[in-house]
Chains A and B, each alone.
Chain A
């Protein structure tokens, strides 16, 4: 039996696919924001002189880097929500799962950046009588920022790739519509190829944007 390709189905359903990919972008963007903020908090906790604060962050980071995203996603959406008796929308669960897991990786990236700042900088800042927020805000972070950039950029691309998975809990993203349309027209090859192509191109474009941004920020940052 010879297979008859129907690529015109893609152009006829283009709007639906675009609607889906916008949702994928949203999930990725929200997860990146969540991971960036939570990761920083975790990194600071990890570096805290208080033993139990540091310990808690360490356990979180270890677990987050160990658990597969898919397992964690199903656990949050099907398991935890029932145990806690809360109703999570698929989109919320997707962002939370992706954000919480990625925060563990981001924390390690931030920590490496902060620790790479010369010890003398801390000591000099303290000798000058700066407060803790100012030591971090004015001295450590501006220097750590440039060290962190490339690794953070890679992580963002990783989060973007991870966002493709959230349709397994019913988020109406690109892969969700690809599946729906495949079943409707019984043309899985065309729709999955289109979805795959859209995502690969998006990933490559996003990675390119991150690289450009990285270069610009690095160039603009002041060495002091």
Chain B
């Protein structure tokens, strides 16, 4: 066995590692789409006038904010599927778990975005005789979006980080590939370092490049509108 850090072994295995990274990013992106849609529904319930909708939404949000992904994903994949007899593939289970968990956080992001719109805006829109649809579409949403998008992007970096553990239910993501290669070549340090480096690059790209750009864009568009 060679001494020192064997870079060559990583370069030779770069293809399966990058394939695993693509799977991880795929899980994160799909989950984020689920969280964005589901979160919008949950916040609709949360802000409803009827307590039958409001209370369950509140409990849903509190529950998922208190639950760790690791526990929920194991429960869903190994526990629930046996009871219901409903076979879920690892990828689907991972997306459902990550999507549901983060829909609670998304709901809170929507809520903070909506509460950033001043009450006077609602009153003015009503005084102008706008319909409910016009009120939301033309007045509220354009003002809430600049608050929501940057926060949602930050949540996405968390989803990316959380998606690293979907290997525990058998998704062949980068960590799963890494474990297999590390055991096969018996070079765990090299492979785990490579995996960590790939993760760091992906997440830093999103948090340092994408998020910063989007924040700048919205700050500028806000300045224009004033």
Q: Which partner residue on chain B sits nearest A201 by CB separation? A: B66
Q: Are A204 and B66 neighbours in the complex by a CB distance under 8 Å?
A: yes
The yes or no answer to B144 lying at the interface (CB within 8 A) is: no
CB nearest to A75 among chain B residues: B192
- Check A193–B192 contact: CB distance below 8 A: no
Which residues on A sit within 8 Å (CB–CB) of B153? none
Q: Which of A66, A196, A203 has the most CB of B within 10 A?
A: A66
Is B66 in contact with A196, judged by CB distance below 8 angstroms? Answer: no
Q: Is the interface of B mostly helix, strand, loop or mixed?
A: helix
Residues of chain B within 8 A (CB-CB) of A71 are 164, 175, 192, 195-196, 199
Does A141 interact with chain B (Cβ within 8 Å)? no
B74 interface residue (CB < 8 Å to A): yes
Query: Interface digits, A52-70 against B, CB 8 Å rule (1 contact, 0 not)?
Result: 0000000000110011111
With both chains docked as a complex, state the minimum distance between the C-beta of B103 and any C-beta of chain A, in angstroms: 17
Q: Is the CB of A74 within 8 A of B175?
A: yes
Interface segment out of the listed A31-39, A88-96, A128-136, A160-168: A160-168
B184 to chain A, nearest CB (A): 13
C-alpha spacing A195/B199, complex, angstroms: 30
CB within 8 Å of B: which A187-217 residues: 188-193, 195-196, 199-200, 203-204, 207
Residues from chain B with Cβ under 8 Å of A78 in the complex: 182, 188, 192
> B200 an interface residue at 8 Å Cβ cutoff?
yes
Min distance, Cβ B114 to any Cβ of chain A, angstroms? 22
User: Which size bracket describes the interface of A in this complex?
Assistant: 35 or more
How far is the CB of A60 from the nearest CB of chain B, in Å? 13
Expressed in whole angstroms, the minimum distance between the Cβ of B220 and any Cβ of chain A is 26
Please give me the residue from chain A that is nearest to B195 by CB atom: A71
* Interface 0/1 of B178-218, CB less than 8 Å to A: 11001000001111110110011001100100000000000
Contact B68 A162 (CB under 8 A): yes
Q: What residues of chain B lie closer than 8 Å to A5, measured between beta carbons? A: 83
Q: Closest approach, in angstroms, between the C-beta of A25 and any C-beta of chain B? A: 14
| Interface residues on chain B, number (Cβ under 8 Å) | 40
The residue in chain B whose Cβ has the minimal distance to the Cβ of A161 is B68
- Closest-CB distance, B181 to chain A (whole angstroms): 12
- Tell whether, in the assembled complex, residue A67 and residue B196 are in contact, meaning their CB atoms are under 8 Å apart: yes
Q: Let me know if B2 is at the binding interface, CB within 8 A.
A: no
Assess A164 versus B188: contact at CB under 8 Å? Given A192-B75, A193-B75. Answer: no
- Report if A79-B191 is in contact (Cβ < 8 Å); known contacts: A3-B83, A66-B200, A200-B63: yes
What does DSSP make chain A's interface, helix, strand, loop or mixed?
helix
Other A-B pairs, 20, CB within 8 Å; known A79-B189, A204-B62: A1-B85, A3-B83, A66-B207, A67-B199, A67-B200, A70-B164, A71-B164, A71-B199, A72-B196, A74-B195, A79-B190, A79-B191, A83-B189, A161-B68, A168-B165, A175-B74, A179-B74, A189-B80, A192-B74, A196-B75
Measured CB to CB, the residues of A under 8 A from B are 1, 3, 5, 62-63, 66-72, 74-75, 78-80, 82-83, 161-162, 164-165, 168, 175, 178-179, 182, 188-193, 195-196, 199-200, 203-204, 207
Q: List 11 A-B contacts (CB under 8 A).
A: A1-B85, A3-B84, A68-B160, A71-B164, A71-B175, A74-B179, A175-B71, A192-B79, A193-B79, A196-B72, A203-B67
Q: Give residues in B with beta carbon < 8 Å to A.
A: 62-63, 66-68, 70-72, 74-75, 78-80, 82-85, 160-162, 164-165, 168, 175, 178-179, 182, 188-193, 195-196, 199-200, 203-204, 207
